[in-house]
Chains A and B, each alone.
Chain A
Amino acid sequence: MAERKMAGKKIVRENKRRTGWGVVAAMLLGTLFSLRLLERPVRAADAPGSECLACHGDKSGAPTRPGSKVPLFVDGKKFATSVHASFGCTGCHADLEGKDFPHDKPAPVKCGTCHSNEQELYAKSLHGKAIARGDPLAPRCVTCHGNHDIVAVKDQRSAVAPLKVPFVCGQCHQEGTPVSRNRQIAQDNILGNYSESIHGEALLKKGLSVAPNCATCHTAHSILPHTDPASSINRKNIAATCTKCHSQIETVHRKIIRGELWEKQANVLPSCPDCHQPHKIRNVFYDMGMANADCMRCHANEKLRRARDGKSMFVNVDEVAHSVHSKKGIACSQCHSEVNASHVRPCETITKGVDCTSCHDEIGKLYVTSIHGQLNGKNDPNAPTCKECHGTHGILSKQDPQSSTFAVNVPNLCARCHREGNKAAVRYTGTQHEIISNYTESIHGTLLKNGLTVTATCTSCHTAHHILPRSDPASSVNANNVPNTCGQCHHGIEEQFENSIHSKKISGYSKPLPVCNDCHTAHSIHRTDENTFRLNVMTTCGRCHEKIAETYFETYHGKVSRLGYTKAAKCYDCHGAHDVLAVTDPRSHLSRANVAATCAKCHAGATRRFAGYLTHATHHDPKKYPFVFYTFWGMTGLLLGTFVIGGIHTLLWLPKAFQMRRELRAAEEKSAEEHGKSPAKEGTDV
């Protein structure tokens, strides 16, 4: 026996280390106790307390309280089989230890002396607080557990055995009791409803002891109102409470994207009691109960109007049937939640509009933070919600060419608001204008028109649901994020760019550096081998490299480029485009080692000496370009000198030349008079 005890203790010790095995341990302990008790049934009289039973064990002769005739009887047999038998009477009635008979009225028993955990939970609970308030209706330990006959909960005889719990609670929580009449309890007919519910039916009618009783959901000692965040039936906790048993429930609840979401996003998602009303829980398939056909009984009527505002409530069956939701078996009631199948009009219980985030939770979170979502949060009438882009009953997959969100249709979708003159464009104050038409003519737009669906559309750069203004650091088109955004497709170029002088990593500059759209523009992106791009790139680079761009235009390449000659070397032809580096960098296209090869791209056979041509020479800088400077001024001197001498000579000549002309005319007139001819005619011909 000692061995067994030892073994039992050992097991207990081992099991205590692992939570979850506690129940098993308790059961073993219980078994040990009962074994001990079974072995010594005859020792009851010898057991501690036999002394008390001498008086209290006599059913009729037991002592009474002063002024009362009710005998204070304690059933010795029952006590002997109770879990507390071994402690004797004074184990609980400690204040009577060693008292003489007849003793005074004993102090109330403090179960918490041993059951401190339960006592603590109870004290915080609804019942415990009611006791503290002095509520005469509040239950104490004995109200539920009894007193001298307490046995293990697992024992069928226990007052709080699973099968009995509804009745224990029902003592107070059923119709007609003082509690139900005098206390504010939101639920009515609790015991009645429970007994008819699937849980009650299983427990009470079929004797399935694992079926949940009151304490399974409300807990035994920590009973709290559902409004208390610590309550097991609080909206936040209810899913965890239900999934204690219904652990795989998310697999049959398709609205749930990931199992944990139900618990984490209790405020967004419907919680269990929203559909499965507390206490009345029935084995009902709600989808089937509120099948689309039920809805269409009314909503197929084209003339159906909402009484409140006359809005058409007609639902086109064909449209719904082709929608992506219909194909995935989503029923009306899964979006239009809050319907109640027990009503003639199940929809009359609906209070809220469709909340797509019930299922599309991740997207919903993105949307809320996006500029569209932010505006919507401010109740801006222009803010698009899900349905403005995706539609309502006829929502199609974005892979469907008919869908408004199919790649080819996206620009037109966004254009509804963002085309010049439309509501979003009107309130926009930034620098981007004619967005839609510029995009349509851009390389991306052209490719899209040609049916290349993988080319960039609005959403490729701006994202679909996390659209933010460029100024927002989290925006996909914020200057810091643009290379990454473009790099989604143009990955190789992004790699080059990240290793170029324009990358902060390489240059270490803190000031803003150009990113993709600074050279390529945002919406009017053209092929880089097209004239428009090639001829504008100098002014593009010149926005930052002002001086060097000016000097470029003083030499051959710049001059012919300005005349529209696209083949002449542009900035990036020599410096590199995305891999531009300082000319001092050995990896630069213009480093000593590479420059001849760079020139040779156009000038076949170019040598290092040929590369000595000063592509940015200016005659304004005598220090840097003395040759050019002095040649220019030498030539200018020559010009001025020649023109001054020639000019003076000519000006001095003029008066004499006019004089000669006059004399000539006079002579001609004279000879004409002699010949009788018109002088004018004579004068004009040679």
Chain B
Amino acid sequence: MSNGETPERQFVRFTRLQRALHACMIVSFITLAMTGLTLKFSYTKWAAILSHLFGGFETAGYIHRSAAVVMVGVFVTHLVDLYKLKRREHSTWRSLVLGPGSMVPNRRDLTELLETLKWFIGRGERPAYGRWTYWEKFDYFAVFWGIAVIGSTGLTLWFPVFFTRFIPGSFLNVATIVHSDEALLATGFIFTVHFFNTHLRPEKFPMDITVFTGRMPLEELKRDKPREYEALVAAGKLDENMGEAYQPIVTRTIRAFAWVALGLGFSITLWIIYAVLFAYQ
């Protein structure tokens, strides 16, 4: 692939829209985290610097809300995409939810979780994961939870005068805590557990950029998602899911972007640790 010969064919895991949505998600998420945490950790020197870099608190607030709009946009687009997927490939919602490619956790995920734990402690073989592992499904639905909790409280705090026509003023205090602590949970989880699980696992180190390119080498598919591979081979659909690998320039660009995202994520993580453990007030 890097020697300029006929491009290697790779397994296509994500659609163009899914990749774009993930990229948008990253941008909006990191933006939201940075602008939001300046407020949460306003007692740290870093917060003041960052707020200043964003052009002052007021501008940081605009950026925060703009990023929130983008993220909700990503979420809505994904729902629309799901609807189109259902129209295209599934006769019913039930088929979409319970089908083999579904993100909804099922009994097999529970089995795989237990098998995985056994594998961790050396009491069994690595489970033959399918298209979506249980931790991927967890991450996926964490976003739903986060959007619901952080989005609703965020909206309340955005329009407090309007919402206090329906709820008591002190609920704004509660909303503030829920919003910021849930956001802390989201950022903390994404920048540590999610980063490790999907990008930084030693066997994939330094990073897995499948979510940006949408492609993964066939070898990796065989190794990582053996059950999906076998199912595709059995159904004879492997070929139609293969595509050309990207030129190195493209992957390098993607890698650069991913490094920036990773770097920011780690920095934010360090900042959170510092703020929570060492500078807490």
Contacts and interface: CB of A to CB of B under 8 A. Distances in A.
Given A564-B48, A612-B169, A642-B185, A627 B174 contact: yes
A613 B160 contact: yes
Given A564-B57, A613-B160, A646 B192 contact: yes
Interface in B24-59: 38-40, 42-43, 47-48, 51-52, 56-58
A116 to B, nearest CB: 94
Nearest to B193: A646
Contacts of A563: 38-39, 42, 47-48, 51, 57, 60
Contacts of A553: 42-43, 281
Given A609-B169, A660-B203, A628 B39 contact: no
Contact of B168 (A612, A661, A681): A612
Contacts of A631: 174, 177-178
Interface string B200-243: 01110100011001011100000100000000000000000000
A657 B197 CA distance: 10
Tell me which of A606, A658, A685 has the highest count of chain B C-beta atoms within 10 A of its own C-beta: A685
Contacts of B177: 619, 628, 631-632, 635
A649 B210 CA distance: 23
A649 B1 contact: no
B164 A609 contact: yes
Contacts of A658: 202-203
B42 A627 contact: no
A681 B161 contact: no
B181 A639 contact: yes
B39 to A, nearest CB: 5
A653 B169 CA distance: 46
B232 to A, nearest CB: 20
A611 B164 CA distance: 9
B174 A613 contact: no
Contact of B120 (A562, A603, A652, A661): A652
A607 B166 CA distance: 11
B43 A603 contact: no
B129 interface: no
A646 B189 contact: yes
B173 A654 contact: no
Contacts of B174: 627-628, 631
- Chain B interface residue bracket vs A: 35 or more
A interface, over-half SS: helix
Interface residues of A, number: 52
B128 interface: no
A636 B181 contact: yes
A635 B223 CA distance: 38
Interface in B156-175: 160-161, 164-165, 167-174
B73 interface: no
A681 B173 contact: no
Contacts of A284: none
B188 interface: yes
Interface of B: 1-2, 38-40, 42-43, 47-48, 51-52, 56-58, 60, 117, 119-121, 126, 135, 160-161, 164-165, 167-174, 176-178, 181-182, 184-185, 188-189, 192-193, 196-197, 201-203, 205, 209-210, 213, 215-217, 223, 245, 248, 251, 281
User: Top 8 A-B pairs ranked by shortest CB distance?
Assistant: A612-B169, A635-B181, A565-B57, A646-B193, A652-B120, A613-B169, A610-B164, A559-B42
Interface of A: 553, 555-556, 558-560, 562-565, 567, 603-607, 609-614, 617, 619, 625, 627-628, 631-632, 635-636, 638-639, 642-643, 646-647, 649-650, 652-658, 660-661, 664, 681, 685-686
25 contacts: A556-B39, A556-B176, A558-B42, A564-B57, A605-B161, A607-B161, A609-B164, A609-B165, A609-B169, A627-B173, A628-B177, A632-B177, A635-B178, A635-B182, A638-B185, A639-B188, A646-B189, A646-B192, A647-B192, A650-B193, A650-B197, A656-B126, A685-B1, A686-B209, A686-B215
